[in-house]
Amino acid sequence: MYSVDRQKLISKLAIPGNTKIILLVLDGLGDTPVNGKTPLQEAKTPNLDSLARESDLGLIIPVLPGITPGSGPGHLALFGYDPIKYQIGRGILEALGTGVEVGEKDVVARGNFATLKDGIVVDRRAGRPPTEESAKVVKILSENIKTIEDVTISFYPGKEHRFVVKFTGENLDDRLTDADPQREGKPMVWAKPLTPEADRMARIVNELIKKIGEVLKDQGRMNFALLRGFSKYPNLPKFGEVYKLKSAAIATYPMYRGIAKLVGMDVLETGQTVADEVETLKKHWEDYDFFYFHVKKTDSYGEDGNFAKKVEVIEEVDKVIPEILRLDPDVIVVTGDHSTPVILKAHSWHPVPFMIKSRYVRMGTSARFDEFECAKGSLGTFYAVDVMTLVLAHAGRLEKYGA
């Protein structure tokens, strides 16, 4: 029942409790067979398989069949937010991914270095400069542009041609069109307000871009910039309030730490390895009742098309499962936010393996955790947006609906 306002429904049914929940997300976990096997089938995973024997299995659809999610929608759905209803601007996602702190009044935008010639945008990505090179140009901007009118401007380097701009000031409005011709070989298209309240912001944005053009006029191909995805910090219903959970995120990458923060989770300090993350989980076990535990590298190696390395990361996670289970969580889920098939070297729409273990599951259908065993699980193929409801039910934290 996809169109239901789940936050509204669940906030009425959720009750506080003492039960402990772990949502273990292996980013981009799902895959398709290469030489007859997916990475999850190829990996030696005695501990995940043993957990599968005591779990209920299924496959989850991140958004809709055939829709490939970005990290934002993939995670929002897992956290129970309808990813069609709650859309997060590109600017804010880029900022989160870059580790930029965004205040409630700030507006952020995603910047592209571009090449302008005789008033025409001839390259929207300035020939994809190396990250080190573009970072230097970002530094030049930071030194030369501090304010536009009474608005403070901050620049943050990104990957290759990308960077982030943050606007800090009073009464800033994000309802603007992109300052971007969208296609190459066209004259610049300036930001336009979508509402009269954004007139001033459009003026500031366009003034900023002109200033950038002046400062960078001798920087060769990176002599101009486009700004897109103007967005403020989105006002999402708070995870903890809706679900009556004290929740924490354990994640190594800024993007995922950022998304967790967006929904109101505490974000714990942790190291760079899966083992570090387990230590963090153990250290804070008593402080929270919900842990979102994110493993990034399954996705990274999927994006690289590196089958062997994706297998290795899965096996690395498998090795820490017993240590996690020794904490004796009431509910543990192992899943992904989307698939990242090695063959595609990119996110995909394929349903994602899912298993849930609690006292109340219909266990015993499978002795393996992989895409095909999950397809036979008694949970069937269902929407990721229903994961949190299922988790809360298995944790004894939902009251009956109706009499």
Choice from 23, 25, 93, 242 touching a copy of itself (CB under 8 A): 93
Contact assessment for residue 27 and residue 299, using Cβ atoms and an 8 Å cutoff: yes
Closest to a copy of itself by CB, 6 or 297: 6
Single-letter amino acid code for the residue at 268: L
State the nearest-atom distance from the C-beta of 403 to a copy of itself, in Å.
4
Regarding 398 and contact with a copy of itself (CB under 8 A), the answer is: yes
The site for a copy of itself, by CB under 8 A, has a size of: 74
For residue 311, count other CB atoms closer than 10 A to its CB.
Answer: 23
State the nearest-atom distance from the C-beta of 213 to a copy of itself, in Å.
26
Site for a copy of itself in 61-80 (CB under 8 A): 63-73
Contact assessment for residue 322 and residue 45, using Cβ atoms and an 8 Å cutoff: no
Choice from 12, 15, 16, 87 touching a copy of itself (CB under 8 A): 87
Site for a copy of itself in 215-254 (CB under 8 A): 229
Regarding 59 and contact with a copy of itself (CB under 8 A), the answer is: yes
Regarding 158 and contact with a copy of itself (CB under 8 A), the answer is: no
Closest to a copy of itself by CB, 82 or 318: 82
Strands (E), 207-257: 224-232, 247-250
Site string for a copy of itself, 355-384 (x = CB under 8 A): ----xxxxxxx-----xx--xxxxxxxxx-
| CB environment 380-390: b (16+ within 10 A), e (fewer) | eeebbbbbbbb
Choices 117-125, 152-160, 300-308, 392-400 (CB under 8 A): range interacting with a copy of itself: 392-400
Closest to a copy of itself by CB, 246 or 359: 359
Regarding 328 and contact with a copy of itself (CB under 8 A), the answer is: no
Find how far residue 362's CA is from the centre of its chain.
Answer: 31
Site for a copy of itself in 27-46 (CB under 8 A): 32-33, 36, 38
Regarding 12 and contact with a copy of itself (CB under 8 A), the answer is: no
In this structure, the strands spanning 186-187 and 380-383 are unpaired
Regarding 4 and contact with a copy of itself (CB under 8 A), the answer is: yes
For residue 171, count other CB atoms closer than 10 A to its CB.
Answer: 9
Closest to a copy of itself by CB, 322 or 364: 364
Closest to a copy of itself by CB, 63 or 148: 63
| CB environment 91-117: b (16+ within 10 A), e (fewer) | bbbbbbbbebebeeebbbbbbbbbbbe
The owner of tokens 């009499």 is 403
Quickly list DSSP for 261-317: HHTT-EE----SSHHHHHHHHHHTTTT-SEEEEEE-HHHHHHHHT-HHHHHHHHHHH
Site for a copy of itself in 106-125 (CB under 8 A): none
State the nearest-atom distance from the C-beta of 65 to a copy of itself, in Å.
4
Phi, psi of 293 (to 5 degrees): -120, 110
